[in-house]
Amino acid sequence: MQRVASNMRSNWCGAVASGATGILFALSFVATPVKFMAPNVAIADLLAVGRVTFRASFAVELVMLVIMLVLARGRARYLIVLAGTILAMQWLALMPSLDARTLAVMVGDPPPPSPLHIYWIAADILRLGIYAGVAVLSFKGACRTSH
């Protein structure tokens, strides 16, 4: 019975990690760049939508991180803490400056180029890899304990 419960926890953790991988990829690497291809939509409007989207996705990702942390075991748990640390760093160290830049563009005063978006994208790529790794470790753990 304990093995079944452990398998269920691992499978659920893998499922949530897979969901987090998909959501992060879809929002950061598909929806965000593609929205700027929309014709006849003002940049200020696109940026306003982006601000709301980023805050909503942050809240969803936090909930998923907590669920994974509760379900995960072993190395997967350390990876989840690492992903949470990266996410916190993004929101505490990068987002205030990125948000100020966004607001400046929205009022017609674009700031000079900055590497902040590259740092954000690099952190997203790291989190993407971590979530995929958690999914693999979780499903692998469930397979290992079922034999």
Rounded to an integer, the average pLDDT of 43-61 is 96
Task: Look at the block and give the residue holding tokens 């965000």.
Answer: 32
pLDDT surpasses 90 at 144:
no
Rounded to an integer, the average pLDDT of 112-119 is 97
Task: Look at the block and give the residue holding tokens 């200020």.
Answer: 44
Amino acid identity, position 19: G
Q: How far apart are CA 81 and CA 86, in angstroms?
A: 9
pLDDT surpasses 90 at 123:
yes
Rounded to an integer, the average pLDDT of 78-98 is 98
What's the Cα-to-Cα distance from 106 to each of 33, 55, 136, rounded to whole Å? 17, 17, 41
Rounded to an integer, the average pLDDT of 70-84 is 95
pLDDT surpasses 90 at 71:
yes
Q: What is the pLDDT of residue 141?
A: 75
Q: What is the pLDDT of residue 142?
A: 65
For residue 116, how many other CB atoms are within 10 A of its CB? Answer: 15
What's the Cα-to-Cα distance from 60 to each of 23, 67, 130, rounded to whole Å? 9, 11, 17
Rounded to an integer, the average pLDDT of 140-147 is 64
Task: Look at the block and give the residue holding tokens 């691992």.
Answer: 10
Looking at the chain, the whole-number percentage of residues with pLDDT higher than 70 is 93
